[in-house]
Structure 1
Amino acid sequence: MTYQESHFFIWIAAAYLLGSVPTGLLLGKLYGIDVRRQGSGNIGATNLYRTVGRKVGVMTLVGDCLKGIAPVLLARQFGLSGEQIAWIGLAAFCGHVFSIFLKFKGGKGVATALGVFLALSPLAVLVALILFVLLMLKWRYVSLGSVCAAAVMPLAVALLSGGRTLTLVTFLIGLIVIVRHLENIRRLLAGTENKFKA
């Protein structure tokens, strides 16, 4: 393994470990609550919002988002290539979804993916965010907005940012987000999914 390869591997490992930090679980425990046993059982911002409160839900959203944006911006600052940075973003995302601290379980990845793409392709995020907001205003389902935003992101990135590696990484992240929402999709089809209440 060359020095450059080992250096890149260290970045991947560090991004994964940062992504693995279970922000929602830690914040919930500060309030004496294990969110894995509350509400949907998910450690993400929506479940924290519903079970612990608005403040903690927002804190979880910000914390999970920072896990995605920080390693990407740092890697860019240190002069890594665009392709390397895209893989580092994927590593941070995978850390959240498959956390080593939670026996390779984790959240659904929406907020961490948001952080990754705010750094990698902000214009594509704007497109997905507009879609998310429109769907939320119409039907009030966070899961529906998240799934549709994940589905549109690869196309938005391909058109607005370009690059095969970034498009591939975006496709993989979007696919994982959708797969992590399969139970929500089943509830949406059955009409039993919980609507978001501000």
Structure 2
Amino acid sequence: MFRLICLCIGYCIGCIETAYVVGRIWQVDLRQHGSGNLGTTNALRVLGKKAGALVFIGDIMKSVIAFVICRAIFGSNLAGVYGSVGAVLGHNYPFYLKFKGGKGIAVMIGMTAAMAFSMDIRLAIPNALIGFGMAFATRYVSVGSLLFALTLPISAYLLGFPREMLYLTIFVSAMAFWRHRGNIKKLLNGTENKFGSKK
């Protein structure tokens, strides 16, 4: 029962679309500009660095807050992880925006950070190095995002995280790949925009 409750708590928190709120402050509906995605990259490209940073931090904090609240209520890290998974779901599929949200990477970063600081800090190291490193090396944010998502369950497995938590990391990783299917197609076609591009 606690699993469902934590998913619901996380979902409600995740539904607070930072990019949508920041866009409204800038008087821009990000769904109608750039890629149309309610995420950090689109906010950065359309609104600039300040807005992009606000969206990035806000999305990370949604997952961290969901983790902390659920762990405090139920007294277990597993409950916290379910809260973070719910936040990813809410971010990706907000009910009040016709279930069209972001792609969940920043929220996954928050989930990874919460798990790392609560259980094993080593979980965050390979994800950060590979994800951010490849994003800057290739200048493709999507490449870094996908490698970050791929590395999370691998790291959780190698570090001996409990099986249920491992399954949850696999779930959010698979969801990230699904949400990036358009980017994957563009990468294969050679039409994906690089970091810094205004297209």
Tell whether the structures are fold-level matches, with TM greater than 0.5.
Answer: yes
Tell me what 1:33 maps to. 28
Q: Identity of counterpart residues, as a percentage?
A: 32
Match of 2:21, SS state, is helix
Mark the runs of 5 or more structure 1 residues left unpaired by the alignment.
Answer: none
Retained in 2: the 8 A contact 1:21–1:101? no
What residue identity is the alignment partner of 1:61? F
Equivalent pairs counted in the alignment come to: 193
For 1:7-86, list aligned pairs within 5 A. 9-86=4-81
Tell me what 1:186 maps to. 185
Retained in 1: the 8 A contact 2:146–2:177? yes
What residue identity is the alignment partner of 1:195? K
Is 2:135 the counterpart of 1:140? no
Whole-angstrom CA distance in 1 between matches of 2:3 and 2:132 = 36
Tell me what 1:197 maps to. 196
1:73-115 deviation per Cα after TM superposition (whole angstroms, max 9, x unaligned): 2222344323322222211110101112212221000001111
Tell me what 2:123 maps to. 124
1:141-198 deviation per Cα after TM superposition (whole angstroms, max 9, x unaligned): 0001101111121010112251011100000000000111011011111111111029
Distance of aligned partners of 1:9 and 1:185 in 2 relative to their CA distance in 1, 3 Å threshold: closer
Whole-angstrom CA distance in 2 between matches of 1:15 and 1:114 = 15
Q: TM-score, normalised by structure 1?
A: 0.91
Retained in 1: the 8 A contact 2:183–2:192? yes
Retained in 2: the 8 A contact 1:24–1:45? yes
Whole-angstrom CA distance in 1 between matches of 2:115 and 2:179 = 22
Is 2:172 the counterpart of 1:173? yes
Alpha-carbon RMSD = 1.6
Whole-angstrom CA distance in 1 between matches of 2:115 and 2:96 = 26
Q: CA deviation at 1:117?
A: 1.3
Mark the runs of 5 or more structure 2 residues left unpaired by the alignment.
Answer: none
Q: TM-score, normalised by structure 2?
A: 0.91
Question: Which aligned runs of 4 or more in structure 1 are off by greater than 3 angstroms?
Answer: 7-11
